[in-house]
Chain A
Amino acid sequence: MKIRVKIKHLAYGAGLLLAVILAVAVMAKPPQNMAGAGQTGAEAKEQVLRKIAAAGAEEKLKLIEEYMLKDDSADLSRAYDMYIESTGMMYGGGVVDVAKKPVFSLDEKLPYLEQYAAEGKPGPELAAAAKLLSYHYQGEGQQEKAAKVLAEARKRLHSSTAVYASNELLLMQAQLAAGQKQYDTLLKLCAEIIDRNAANDDILVRMSELLAQYAIEKGEVPQTLELLRSDLEQKSSRMTSGQAVQIQKEELRGITDRLKKIASGRPAGLTDVSGTIEKANGEPLAYAGVFLRRDDDLNHSMAGFEPYQTITNEKGEYAFKGVVPGRYKLYLGVNASQLNGWTWPEQRDGGWIDLNGQQAAVENVTFQPLLELREPVNNAIVKDNSIAFAWEPVQGAAYYNLSVGIKLKSGSTSRVVRRGISVPEVRIQADDLYYEYTGISGFSEGSGQLTIDPLSLLGYANTDNQMTWDVAAYDAGGRMLTRSGGYRLDERLTDRLPFFYLKAREMTEADRTLLSGDLKKAEAMYRADYRKDPDDAHSLHMIIRLLQGTMMLEGKGAGEAEESLLAEQTRLLRQLVKLHPAAWYYDMLAQQAFDRADWDEYRRYDELAAALDTSEDTGYRDGTRAIAFMRQQKWDEAAASFQKSLENDPSHRFIGAYIALAIARGGPLETAAALAEKYPDRMSYSGPIHWDELLLAMKREAAGQDGYFQTLRQRAGLYVRGGEAGGDRSSFSAPAMNRFFEQLKQVK
């Protein structure tokens, strides 16, 4: 089939087609970035504000609701993108809603929230508006206005339909009253809360917390609290398990402990905690969430019931009035864009706020610009026998510490591999890194059976595993100035990723077998390799690692099998230190001698390890030495070593043992309690141990019980000599004493 067509008609047709294509291309541009194509945040905000200004009364309130009052905007424990502490994000990661709606600061929202609080429909949004306004007024120091806005909003809420919102307002009012020391108001509000929430334990516990503040301040327990507490105690014995109940119970125990303390005449007053959160360039972190978290709360996620939560004002200032004595850490709630390019420089064990009744405590945070790394970066492959690390110098830095990390099956691990580096570069021998210690970790798959993670066994010797590194800079006084780890949330900050591969060695067949998961076969292969070449330090190292893993899986106390494993490990370790001396091999040998109570050998290996150990933190070594002295009944040497450990190690992990020693030597409980208060235990094995509270509880327990102290001393004596701490369980009831010795088992 053919058609006849004139050239001119063909040309007209082609022209028309071209016009159509052009039109389509212009109209259907590729999708642009959200938030109104090409629009800046400020423009989007402007647009919304114009829309609100132009709307009718009802529509206006709807728009305010939509753009300024998200469901959880007044629940500080949920309103922010990130919850951070000095060591990083609170959770390993988080999902952030990158809203296409513009985000208004509290300051920008202010007039609209005021309008909503006055005219908005009674509901959760009204409560949210009132709470946000109250935070704002508090930040400006207008406490009365802050209380008034809550009271007025609550009047407008129907407490029957908006129970939750109404309760939140009531509690916040009570909190304000407690902070202002307006105890009459507090009691009135509490009466109302009890009236309306007889069955709501969560609210009642939170309220008891406020009443406890009052009790501490006044030095007497209000009747309401006494009644409430006994009522809750009764209930709590009937409460069934579950995390929420668990937390409530702990909360209740904390309150009870505090009240007992008041009753036993040891009042410690309330403290006002305040400070400024800002960046090193002077820019304040405005309207960030600030959370003063109790040590008991640190092992669960941020929760609405935690008592000390607030917002910074536009100058980055915050304040908590009347904080109950205890140990706290500061956490912040921020939005992703707020900290881009900054870091919170603080050591892992630092950042504790101890309140012992002082009038005021100031806790400032200054974010520092990130330290930038030079090389090796971006998955560079290092094949040389040494790795040259280099980074940008930091002004005022006296020294730097370098950490290197590896990936594990679940998570990652990182160690400081070089300390006190005086210039912004350092060369590390690949061999040193290959023999670096990694903790052995296990993981369980489906079946629930624990398996050793081969990545943790092979550690830094795995040439296929991506390594990471980071650097921290310190001043001459040992204060951290800044570090490379921080918030890197745009492209400018991700062009030098601190990842590399170390391929100076060839992996052996045995290594590959190990990585494939066949540990038994791998062990046989390492043994064969070592038999062939008695100088093969790597195979020897790996056999010892595998033995360690086996012992970890089978657990201690496996009897003869364990003993023969240990004996073999000791023999191999003695060979290995000849080939490749390293601090942690000597530490293992010292530990084994310790377990055998072979004190001469323990001392010899411990000194060899100390000579090779570059760490300036000798807290752990001194503590272990102290326990060794204790076992040898060298009390004075033990006490001196404990002192040294406690001064050096901010975690104070050996304080429990030191207290036991003091008791065993006949010291009064008061002296022990003073020690406990001076060196709070921050090890937090499975929740913090409050030795001072335990000691006070024992003191209360002792009252009227003959022979209590004798038994206590006897049991402590058994413990310090290394015997089973259980000892004489005695004829009288001593739950606090039993708990004390139970907790002592965790000290190591």
Chain B
Amino acid sequence: MDLNRPDVKRELDRELAGLRFGNRQNVLERTHPKSLPGRLRAWWNKELELPVVPIGAALLLLLTAVFLYRAALYPKGPLPGSETAFKRELVEEAGSVYWKDDLERRLALLENPGQN
């Protein structure tokens, strides 16, 4: 439709004669917000342009680190509720009977007081 054509233009003007744009303020507030909620909303909907490769790599590194940390913190033991019995050894030292693992842990602690 060629709006330059006088008949079309006229017709359109006539049909739109009853319409008036009354929301100017609102639009301005959205595009150039001045109030706090407006500014917050604008920030909330703000689009960021992110580089995929560096961020992906960083995330991957973080996940690996977390996993390793956990693995080091809780070495894998027998599963809870597993039915196989576990064995402990008794040893005799200086006339006393000790659990071997208990005694070794104590002695290791004495040599390396920092560890706990």
A residues near B (Cβ < 8 Å) are 1-8, 10, 30-32, 34, 36-37, 81-82, 88-89, 92-101, 336, 378-379, 403, 405, 412, 414, 468-470, 483-491, 494-495, 497-499
Q: Contact check: which of A81, A95, A100, A497 meets B107 at CB < 8 Å?
A: A497
Q: How far is the CA of A234 from the CA of B95 in the complex (A)?
A: 46
Q: Is the interface of B mostly helix, strand, loop or mixed?
A: mixed
The 10 A-B pairs with the shortest beta carbon distances in the complex, nearest first, are: A485-B95, A468-B94, A30-B74, A31-B77, A470-B95, A93-B91, A97-B85, A1-B52, A94-B90, A485-B96
From A489, which residue of chain B is reached at the shortest CB distance? B99
Q: How far is the CA of A93 from the CA of B88 in the complex (A)?
A: 11
Q: How far is the CA of A8 from the CA of B45 in the complex (A)?
A: 6
Check: B7 CB closer than 8 A to any chain A CB: no
- For B47, the chain A residues whose CB sits under 8 A away are 4-7
A-B contact count (CB 8 A): 138
A481 to chain B, nearest CB (A): 15
Q: Contact check: which of B44, B92, B98, B107 meets A8 at CB < 8 Å?
A: B44
Q: How far is the CA of A37 from the CA of B81 in the complex (A)?
A: 8
- For A95, the chain B residues whose CB sits under 8 A away are 87-90
Check: B13 CB closer than 8 A to any chain A CB: no
Q: How far is the CA of A403 from the CA of B76 in the complex (A)?
A: 43
From B111, which residue of chain A is reached at the shortest CB distance? A379
Most buried by B among A34, A95, A101, A378: A34
Q: How far is the CA of A89 from the CA of B94 in the complex (A)?
A: 12
Q: With A2-B50, A498-B94 in contact, do A31 and B89 touch (Cβ < 8 Å)?
A: no
Check: B69 CB closer than 8 A to any chain A CB: no
B14 to chain A, nearest CB (A): 42
A-B contact pairs, 8 of them (CB 8 A): A2-B49, A3-B50, A34-B78, A94-B89, A100-B82, A470-B96, A485-B96, A499-B107
Check: B114 CB closer than 8 A to any chain A CB: no
Q: How far is the CA of A95 from the CA of B100 in the complex (A)?
A: 10
Check: B93 CB closer than 8 A to any chain A CB: yes
B97 to chain A, nearest CB (A): 5
Count the B residues whose beta carbon is within 8 Å of the partner chain — how many? 43
- For A485, the chain B residues whose CB sits under 8 A away are 94-96
A486 to chain B, nearest CB (A): 6
B residues near A (Cβ < 8 Å) are 43-53, 73-74, 76-83, 85-100, 102-103, 106-107, 110-111
Q: How far is the CA of A367 from the CA of B17 in the complex (A)?
A: 112
Q: Tell whether, in the assembled complex, residue B80 and residue A34 are in contact, meaning their CB atoms are under 8 Å apart.
A: yes
B28 to chain A, nearest CB (A): 22
Q: With A485-B96, A491-B102 in contact, do A31 and B48 touch (Cβ < 8 Å)?
A: no
Q: Contact check: which of B52, B79, B88 meets A96 at CB < 8 Å?
A: B88
Q: Tell whether, in the assembled complex, residue B98 and residue A488 are in contact, meaning their CB atoms are under 8 Å apart.
A: yes
Q: Tell whether, in the assembled complex, residue B90 and residue A96 are in contact, meaning their CB atoms are under 8 Å apart.
A: yes
- For A488, the chain B residues whose CB sits under 8 A away are 96-98
Q: Tell whether, in the assembled complex, residue B90 and residue A89 are in contact, meaning their CB atoms are under 8 Å apart.
A: yes
Q: Tell whether, in the assembled complex, residue A484 and residue B111 are in contact, meaning their CB atoms are under 8 Å apart.
A: no
Q: How far is the CA of A32 from the CA of B82 in the complex (A)?
A: 12
Q: How far is the CA of A483 from the CA of B43 in the complex (A)?
A: 77
- For A2, the chain B residues whose CB sits under 8 A away are 49-52
